[in-house]
Amino acid sequence: MELKLDPWGAVHVDDYTKLFEVFGISSFDEILPKLEEPHPYMAHKIIFGHRNYDSVLRAMQRHEPFAVMSGFMPSGRAHFGHMMVMNEIIWHQQQGGDAFAAIADMEAHAVRGISWAKCRTLGINEYILSLIAFGFEPKDGSHIYFQSENYKMRNLAFELGREANFSEVSAIYGFSGETHISHMESVMAQSADILHPQLEEFGGPKPVVIPVGADQDPHIKLTRDLAYRMRMFLVEQRKDYISIRGKAASKELMQSAELALKNAGYGKVKRYEEHIDVTDVTNVLNIDDTINSRNPLESIDRLIIKLEIEHGHYGFIPPASIYHRFMTGLTGGKMSSSKPESHIALTEDPQEAGKKIMRAITGGRQSLAEQKKLGGEPEKCSIYEFLVFHLSQDDKELLELDAECRSGRRMCGTCKKDVAERIEIFLREHQQAREAAKERLPEFGIKN
């Protein structure tokens, strides 16, 4: 069966390795050893894949500018699946990145038909309060915003629309003649969300990571393509030289690039009609930073980006992305906002949440006798997932629980009762923090 990722559908991925093969997502295993203190989602292999996260990692290690950006469509209550994205945003902010969190009210209005008033109510009461309660800070360069109120982003969406055509977008998202224009426009708004942290107003081009579930990869791929199309030059490493191709550069811009490269002393520079070659390349320092040495390709690309901006262009760096596993719904399948019985909301009554846990589908067998004989299957258990994803950071405890389950020594009822108690405590504490967050809304420019 064809594997298809649908940003608006109910996607459940059983074999994540297929995403490496079919969609070109890279395994996060290659990144993990390079992180001194990875987020628990990374350490527990919940974050399983990435696109170009190396660029963000380098920026973190060099203490250079980078950003994290993701969004939330206010179509229902925020649940533990959304909490994963919130935590990933906050962790990157704590590592020194600018943080951008969008409330995708334009998307919710266009795709789900939700009124603007309800979008705002859900956006604040379900998502923004939880973001603040979990630790999002109003630092310089960090923003929580509604799409409909962010005109810098909306203006960029208009510009990006010039680089995308109907047939391409239709092929990616399955649009038909029945799809209304506002739905299509919401796609450009999401690409603009992802790229607008690189606007000059926010410090200019820099690595930006987008934490998402795998179902959102079509947005990432399209936006990476759009970032490439908005560039005037393509800087490439050839066999023994670096080529700077003038994709859409004017003759004047080509001449300026030639002069800048010669002045920077990167090597021998020769300009042709549509490209410039740099041979005998030296491993120089970045002209804007004499502390951190770079490889020649990176240094030259930074120089060309700066030149593009000076000539009124954007110089976007293709965004990076990290992908986390979906949480299994309490009733099986993907946890979904549209299925209240499948999730526990962050605003759920703690006692009701505990009852949901006690009713949840587990990885246990059909009978007590089978459980003792064959053991459970924690990899299929939504209850065990709550522990791995959110309720335990004790690796020793998790390994012991896994072993006890598989051996048949631990029964599902015991696990459910334990997790129900932890969920109730977690929600009570979080909801207290949400109450305190209401007083902080003005710090983020949000009027309730």
Report the number of distinct structural domains present in the chain.
Answer: 3
**Chain centroid offset of residue 257 CA:** 34
Please give the torsion angle defined by the CA atoms of residues 331, 212, 61 and 395, in that order, rounded to the nearest 10 degrees: 10
Residues 32 and 88 in one domain: yes
Residues 149 and 245 in one domain: no
Is 50 exceeded by the pLDDT of residue 135?
yes
Does a structural domain hold residue 11? Answer: no
Residues 210 and 354 in one domain: no
pLDDT at residue 371, rounded to an integer: 67
DSSP string, 98-142: EEEEEE-HHHIIIII---HHHHHHHIIIIIIHHHHHHT----TT-
Residues 139 and 182 in one domain: yes
Cα separation of 445 and 438, whole Å?
A: 12
Does a structural domain hold residue 194? Answer: yes
CATH number at residue 193: 3.40.50.620
Residues 50 and 104 in one domain: yes
Cα separation of 116 and 106, whole Å?
A: 8
Does a structural domain hold residue 4? Answer: no
Tens-digit pLDDT profile for residues 355-398: 999 988 776 666 677 767 777 777 778 888 888 889 888 888 88
Cα separation of 251 and 308, whole Å?
A: 13
Packing angle, helices 166-173 and 181-195, rounded to 10: 90
Residues 225 and 237 in one domain: no
Alpha helix (H) residue ranges in 4-122: 17-23, 40-43, 53-62, 80-94, 105-107, 116-122
Confidence of residue 132 (pLDDT cuts 50, 70, 90): very high
189-195: average pLDDT: 96
Residues 205 and 292 in one domain: no
Is 60 exceeded by the pLDDT of residue 9?
no
Residues 95 and 144 in one domain: yes
Q: What is the mean pLDDT of the chain?
A: 87
Contact status, residue 119 vs residue 147, Cβ threshold 8 Å: no
pLDDT at residue 11, rounded to an integer: 37
Does a structural domain hold residue 333? Answer: no
CATH number at residue 435: 1.10.240.10
Cα separation of 393 and 419, whole Å?
A: 14
Residues 191 and 239 in one domain: no
Give the domain range for residue 263: 233-310
Contact status, residue 164 vs residue 188, Cβ threshold 8 Å: yes
Residues 182 and 285 in one domain: no
Does a structural domain hold residue 331? Answer: no
DSSP string, 166-207: HHHHHHHHT--TTS-HHHHHHHHHHHHHHHGGGSGGGTSS--
Does a structural domain hold residue 278? Answer: yes
Provide, for the chain, the percentages of residues in helix, strand and coil under a 3-state DSSP scheme, each rounded to the nearest 5: 50, 15, 35
Report in angstroms the alpha-carbon separations of 230 from 153, 157, 196, 308, 425.
15, 12, 13, 10, 49
Residues 136 and 187 in one domain: yes
Radius of gyration of the chain (CA): 24
335-346: average pLDDT: 81
Residues 187 and 252 in one domain: no
Is 50 exceeded by the pLDDT of residue 103?
yes
